[in-house]
Amino acid sequence: MSHLLTFALGLLLGAVAFTIVGALTAILVLTERKVGARIQGRVGPMHTGPQGSLQTIADMVKLVMKEDVRPARADAVAFGLGPLLVAVPAILSLAVIPFGGPLIMRDLNVGVLYFLAVPGVTVVGLLLAGWASYDNYSFLGGLRSSAQFISYEIPRGLAVVTVVMLAGSLSTVDLLEAQSRVPYIVLLPLSFLIYAITSLAEVNRIPFDIPEAESELVAGYHTEYSGFRWALFFLAEYAGLFAASAFGALLFLGGGNGPLLPAVVWLILKTSALMFVGIWIRFTLPRFRADQLMRLAWKFFLPLSLANLVLAALVMKAVA
Amino acid sequence: MTTPALVLSSVLFAIGVFGVLTRRNAITLLVSVEIMMNAANINLVAFSRVHEPAAMTGQVFALLGIGIAACEAAVGLALILAVRRRFGGTDVQSIDLLKG
Amino acid sequence: MSLQDSLFAGFGLIAVVGALYAVITRSLLRAIVALGAFLTAVAGEFYLLSADFVAVVQIFVYVGGILVLMLFALMLSASGVRHPLAAIDRPGLGAVLAYAIGGGLVWASWTAGTFVPAELPEDAVGALGRALLGTQLGPFELIGVILLASVIAALSIARREQP
């Protein structure tokens, strides 16, 4: 009986996490539209609520109530599974982020590796979604995005390895403790740059949003999706941005460490700063071409991150 | 939990054997082989728990097994693509160049 | 049954059902999706057998790598996706052989005696790392060479022949 209760509690926690991520997405989308409008000299959404602040809530209600259209020749199982496999790992990866004190779902002793591994499952979802839609644009978008994801996963992982080497632990809580005096961005600036840029590619943000480039692929892998399933893709993108930023803050900016304010506030402040940079970049840089994207990953970031790793190891050896 | 793990791995291995013996599509064969390799890995990890866990030998070999599986999948899938180009399908019984 | 035991049984059930479905379905896409469920369940079993690192590597390499590779191959070869695969060939023979092998293995496992789990080291991940780069360094390096060789082999096999 007691573990039925545990399972029920787990389900409840999952529902809470989903709701929090939904609310987070609403806030992020509104911020993004407002900031974007500011950068482009517009005013952004203004009509729903004071200063348009309820616009995304209205959009979400509309999305949930929309008809769920499925192409006649689509593979039913894969079409339904695609968005789920994209959204669930993005939310799951939040489980190892320490928001300070007891506010962590689980302190795995392989937390950092978990954060690198679990979002990798989204590739399966993207491929399934693109394939099941029975549509050339979706298919090309799915293939492109998985190729991109796999390519940028490697330099990103190698950048994180330097942090792990320095901290001597894969646990996220230990990372926090290791940075109590000096945040790692001071010691590993190059790793931070590699991590930040490749993370943008991992979460499919401009300038790396080739898979859904509307000028060539309509909307990539989610061309055929509408209603709630489309909302799941949307949710996954913003959950991914949040997770990547929170981990950036944790790995390089010292996470919840900081004077006066509690750890949660510090972590959220640092995460918000990183997310703001992401939004800023979106409205500043043009999109890459598909071949440029691949060349950048394999001929620039991979050698750079390897050199960075070797350099970090040598310096650590020399200092120790 | 060691004996249940061993039984589970035996059952999974048998399922893999069944797949290899009865399927004719090359990709499904690869799927069956992966199932068998995973069954072997469960065994290694289960024994690592009871036999000198501090030495981690079983876990190390499970990791090496995963590495080998990755190699096998890469080469196997490349072969499947080549076969598909040469014979127009991935049914292993269509590869019959040696038939007189 | 403790929570661990029921989780172990649940993951085991998912693994067995996933593997069975992957082996008997006539849709290649569904076989690969079922393999994904199977691999994830096996990762769960690794975690319950206190091999956290192996569990995460299983997700990383198998689900994030090999499964994606298989989907790529499926999509590039595009056979058996829109058309169902050939039905199971000689199921009786396969079932008898699989039953014999599986039965023997299950009997061997069941009668292998009782095992007492030994004490785990304090820093399990650290111990695993030291084993990989210490006592087991030879096989570890060898895997690197094999990976390199297989990447080169895969590239040269899959490359389109020059006309």
Residue from the list A108, A117, A150 with its beta carbon closest to the beta carbon of C68: A150
**B74 to C8: CB separation less than 8 angstroms, yes or no:** no
**C20 to B15: CB separation less than 8 angstroms, yes or no:** yes
Chains touching C, CB cut-off 8 Å, 3+ pairs: A, B
Q: Tokens in use for C135?
A: 């006592």
Residues in chain B with pLDDT values less than 50? none
Q: What is the pLDDT of residue C146?
A: 93
Buried b (16+ CB within 10 A) or exposed e, A111-136: bbbbbbbbbbbbbbbbbbbbbbbbbe
Characterise C138 by phi-psi region: left (phi > 0), alpha (psi -120 to 50), beta (else).
alpha
Cβ neighbours of residue A262 under 8 Å, at least 6 residues apart? Answer: A100, A256
What's the rounded mean pLDDT across residues A31-60? 83
The residue length of chain C stands at: 163
- In 3D, which of B71, B67, B73 has the Cα closest to residue B41? B67
Binning pLDDT at 50, 70 and 90, where does residue A211 land? Answer: low
Q: Tokens in use for A207?
A: 């300038």
Least CA distance to C138: which residue of chain B? Answer: B64
Q: How far apart are CA C128 and CA B58, in angstroms?
A: 10
Positive/negative CA dihedral, C5, C6, C11, C16: positive
The model's pTM is 0.88
User: Which residues in chain A have Cβ-Cβ distances shorter than 8 Å to C3?
Assistant: 2-3, 6
Binning pLDDT at 50, 70 and 90, where does residue A28 land? Answer: confident
Max mean pLDDT range (A174-178, A284-288, A295-299, C15-19): C15-19
CB pairs under 8 A between A and C: 69
CB A215 within 8 A of CB A197: no
Share of chain C above pLDDT 90, in %: 24
**B4 to C12: CB separation less than 8 angstroms, yes or no:** yes
Q: Tokens in use for A150?
A: 């796999």
Say whether pLDDT at A192 is over 50.
Answer: yes
Cα A241 off chain centre by: 3
| Residue in the structure block whose two tokens are 């160049």 | B97
User: Which residues in chain A have Cβ-Cβ distances shorter than 8 Å to C124?
Assistant: 109
CA distance A140 to chain C (A): 11
Characterise A254 by phi-psi region: left (phi > 0), alpha (psi -120 to 50), beta (else).
left
Q: What is the pLDDT of residue B88?
A: 72
Q: What is the pLDDT of residue A212?
A: 66
Q: How far apart are CA C155 and CA C163, in angstroms?
A: 17
- Neighbouring CB atoms inside 10 A of C45's CB total 28
Binning pLDDT at 50, 70 and 90, where does residue C80 land? Answer: very low
